[in-house]
Structure 1
Amino acid sequence: MAIELPKETRKEAIASIERYFAEHMEERIGNIAAGALLNFFVEEIGPAIYNRAVAEVQERLQQRVSEIDIEVHEDEFTYWQKQAKRR
Protein backbone atom coordinates (compact mmCIF):
# COMPACT_ATOMS: atom_id res chain seq x y z
CA MET A 1 0.00 0.00 0.00
CA ALA A 2 1.61 3.22 -1.14
CA ILE A 3 1.50 6.14 1.26
CA GLU A 4 0.25 9.28 -0.44
CA LEU A 5 0.01 12.70 1.10
CA PRO A 6 -2.87 15.02 0.28
CA LYS A 7 -1.84 17.88 -2.03
CA GLU A 8 -1.99 20.55 0.68
CA THR A 9 -0.06 18.40 3.18
CA ARG A 10 2.62 17.72 0.56
CA LYS A 11 2.89 21.45 -0.17
CA GLU A 12 3.31 22.25 3.54
CA ALA A 13 5.86 19.45 3.99
CA ILE A 14 7.97 20.74 1.09
CA ALA A 15 7.85 24.27 2.52
CA SER A 16 8.92 22.87 5.90
CA ILE A 17 11.87 21.02 4.33
CA GLU A 18 12.95 24.20 2.53
CA ARG A 19 12.71 26.15 5.79
CA TYR A 20 14.68 23.49 7.67
CA PHE A 21 17.49 23.67 5.12
CA ALA A 22 17.46 27.48 5.22
CA GLU A 23 17.75 27.56 9.01
CA HIS A 24 19.91 24.52 9.78
CA MET A 25 22.03 23.64 6.76
CA GLU A 26 24.83 25.44 5.02
CA GLU A 27 23.02 25.56 1.71
CA ARG A 28 19.42 26.02 0.71
CA ILE A 29 17.33 23.41 -1.03
CA GLY A 30 15.04 24.19 -3.94
CA ASN A 31 11.40 23.24 -4.29
CA ILE A 32 12.06 20.34 -6.69
CA ALA A 33 14.87 18.91 -4.55
CA ALA A 34 12.73 19.28 -1.41
CA GLY A 35 9.93 17.40 -3.18
CA ALA A 36 12.32 14.63 -4.19
CA LEU A 37 13.64 14.39 -0.62
CA LEU A 38 10.07 14.21 0.68
CA ASN A 39 9.29 11.43 -1.82
CA PHE A 40 12.33 9.51 -0.60
CA PHE A 41 11.34 9.81 3.07
CA VAL A 42 7.71 8.91 2.41
CA GLU A 43 8.68 5.86 0.35
CA GLU A 44 11.64 4.70 2.44
CA ILE A 45 10.72 5.64 6.03
CA GLY A 46 6.97 6.24 5.77
CA PRO A 47 6.02 2.54 5.84
CA ALA A 48 7.93 1.97 9.10
CA ILE A 49 6.09 4.85 10.77
CA TYR A 50 2.77 3.74 9.26
CA ASN A 51 3.23 0.14 10.40
CA ARG A 52 4.10 1.24 13.93
CA ALA A 53 1.00 3.44 14.07
CA VAL A 54 -1.17 0.55 12.87
CA ALA A 55 0.35 -1.74 15.52
CA GLU A 56 -0.38 0.83 18.25
CA VAL A 57 -3.97 1.20 17.09
CA GLN A 58 -4.37 -2.60 17.08
CA GLU A 59 -3.03 -2.77 20.65
CA ARG A 60 -5.44 -0.08 21.82
CA LEU A 61 -8.40 -1.66 20.07
CA GLN A 62 -7.58 -5.09 21.51
CA GLN A 63 -7.35 -3.55 24.97
CA ARG A 64 -10.73 -1.84 24.51
CA VAL A 65 -12.33 -5.04 23.20
CA SER A 66 -10.97 -7.03 26.14
CA GLU A 67 -12.59 -4.52 28.53
CA ILE A 68 -15.93 -4.27 26.75
CA ASP A 69 -17.52 -6.94 28.95
CA ILE A 70 -16.89 -4.71 31.95
CA GLU A 71 -18.46 -1.69 30.23
CA VAL A 72 -21.61 -3.41 29.04
CA HIS A 73 -21.99 -6.21 31.56
CA GLU A 74 -25.47 -6.91 32.87
CA ASP A 75 -26.06 -8.96 35.97
CA GLU A 76 -28.06 -12.12 35.33
CA PHE A 77 -31.03 -13.53 37.20
CA THR A 78 -31.81 -10.41 39.21
CA TYR A 79 -35.59 -10.46 38.94
CA TRP A 80 -36.16 -12.00 42.38
CA GLN A 81 -33.60 -9.73 44.04
CA LYS A 82 -35.40 -6.69 42.65
CA GLN A 83 -38.77 -8.07 43.77
CA ALA A 84 -37.43 -8.62 47.30
CA LYS A 85 -36.25 -5.00 47.50
CA ARG A 86 -39.69 -3.72 46.48
CA ARG A 87 -41.37 -5.55 49.37
Structure 2
Amino acid sequence: MKKIEFSRDAKAAIVSRIRRYFETELDQPIGALPAEFLLDFFAEEIGAHYYNQGLRDAHTALLKKMEDLAEDIYLLECDEKNRAEGA
Protein backbone atom coordinates (compact mmCIF):
# COMPACT_ATOMS: atom_id res chain seq x y z
CA MET A 1 0.00 0.00 0.00
CA LYS A 2 1.19 3.47 -0.85
CA LYS A 3 2.03 5.69 2.12
CA ILE A 4 -0.91 7.82 3.22
CA GLU A 5 -0.12 11.47 2.66
CA PHE A 6 -2.23 14.55 3.26
CA SER A 7 -2.06 17.92 1.58
CA ARG A 8 -0.73 20.73 3.75
CA ASP A 9 -4.24 22.16 4.22
CA ALA A 10 -5.79 18.77 4.99
CA LYS A 11 -3.06 17.95 7.50
CA ALA A 12 -3.49 21.31 9.21
CA ALA A 13 -7.25 20.77 9.47
CA ILE A 14 -6.81 17.25 10.89
CA VAL A 15 -4.18 18.42 13.38
CA SER A 16 -6.55 21.18 14.46
CA ARG A 17 -9.31 18.64 15.05
CA ILE A 18 -6.94 16.38 17.03
CA ARG A 19 -5.94 19.31 19.22
CA ARG A 20 -9.57 20.30 19.75
CA TYR A 21 -10.45 16.70 20.67
CA PHE A 22 -7.69 16.52 23.25
CA GLU A 23 -8.78 19.81 24.79
CA THR A 24 -12.54 19.19 24.86
CA GLU A 25 -12.74 15.45 25.47
CA LEU A 26 -9.62 14.77 27.49
CA ASP A 27 -9.10 18.17 29.15
CA GLN A 28 -5.49 17.83 28.02
CA PRO A 29 -4.03 20.39 25.66
CA ILE A 30 -1.69 19.04 23.01
CA GLY A 31 0.71 20.97 20.83
CA ALA A 32 0.67 21.06 17.07
CA LEU A 33 3.82 18.96 16.68
CA PRO A 34 2.67 16.12 18.99
CA ALA A 35 -0.70 16.16 17.21
CA GLU A 36 1.11 15.82 13.86
CA PHE A 37 3.15 12.92 15.23
CA LEU A 38 -0.05 11.28 16.45
CA LEU A 39 -1.66 11.70 13.02
CA ASP A 40 1.43 10.22 11.33
CA PHE A 41 1.42 7.31 13.79
CA PHE A 42 -2.24 6.48 13.13
CA ALA A 43 -1.82 6.86 9.37
CA GLU A 44 1.12 4.47 9.41
CA GLU A 45 -0.14 1.96 11.96
CA ILE A 46 -3.86 1.68 11.21
CA GLY A 47 -4.30 3.54 7.94
CA ALA A 48 -4.13 0.25 6.01
CA HIS A 49 -7.11 -1.06 7.97
CA TYR A 50 -9.28 1.88 6.89
CA TYR A 51 -7.92 1.75 3.36
CA ASN A 52 -8.71 -1.95 3.04
CA GLN A 53 -12.20 -1.45 4.50
CA GLY A 54 -12.78 1.28 1.92
CA LEU A 55 -11.72 -1.10 -0.84
CA ARG A 56 -14.07 -3.80 0.48
CA ASP A 57 -16.93 -1.30 0.63
CA ALA A 58 -16.19 -0.14 -2.93
CA HIS A 59 -16.06 -3.77 -4.11
CA THR A 60 -19.42 -4.52 -2.49
CA ALA A 61 -20.98 -1.42 -4.08
CA LEU A 62 -19.55 -2.36 -7.48
CA LEU A 63 -20.89 -5.92 -7.24
CA LYS A 64 -24.35 -4.58 -6.36
CA LYS A 65 -24.28 -2.24 -9.36
CA MET A 66 -23.17 -5.11 -11.62
CA GLU A 67 -26.05 -7.26 -10.35
CA ASP A 68 -28.48 -4.40 -11.03
CA LEU A 69 -27.03 -3.97 -14.52
CA ALA A 70 -27.31 -7.70 -15.25
CA GLU A 71 -30.96 -7.60 -14.16
CA ASP A 72 -31.63 -4.56 -16.36
CA ILE A 73 -30.06 -6.31 -19.35
CA TYR A 74 -32.12 -9.43 -18.68
CA LEU A 75 -35.30 -7.34 -18.63
CA LEU A 76 -34.38 -5.86 -22.01
CA GLU A 77 -34.10 -9.26 -23.67
CA CYS A 78 -36.91 -10.20 -26.02
CA ASP A 79 -38.86 -13.38 -25.43
CA GLU A 80 -37.85 -15.19 -28.63
CA LYS A 81 -40.39 -18.01 -28.28
CA ASN A 82 -43.39 -15.66 -27.98
CA ARG A 83 -42.14 -13.46 -30.83
CA ALA A 84 -41.81 -16.48 -33.12
CA GLU A 85 -45.36 -17.69 -32.31
CA GLY A 86 -46.90 -14.23 -32.74
CA ALA A 87 -45.21 -13.50 -36.05
TM value normalised by structure 1: 0.78
1:26-54: CA deviation from partner (whole Å, max 9, x where unpaired)? 43110101000010011111110110111
Return the offset for 1:80. Answer: 6.0
Q: Which residue of 2 aligns with 1:39?
A: 40
Aligned residue in 2 for 1:57: 58
The percent identity for this pair of structures is 25
Please give the residue correspondences for 1:64-83 in structure 2 after superposition, counting only pairs within 5 Å: 64-73=65-74, 74-76=76-78, 77=80
Look at both structures and tell me which one has the larger radius of gyration over its CA atoms. Answer: 1
The 1:3/1:79 distance shift into structure 2, 3 A limit, reads same
Specify the code of the residue in structure 2 equivalent to 1:41.
F
Q: Aligned pairs, how many?
A: 83
**How far apart in 2 are the matches of 1:66 and 1:24?**
44
Alignment of 1:25-36 (within 5 A): 25-36=26-37
Task: Indicate the larger mover: 21-30 or 50-59.
Answer: 21-30
| Structure 1 ranges of 4+ moved more than 4 A | 78-81
Gaps of 5+ in 1: none
RMSD: 2.1
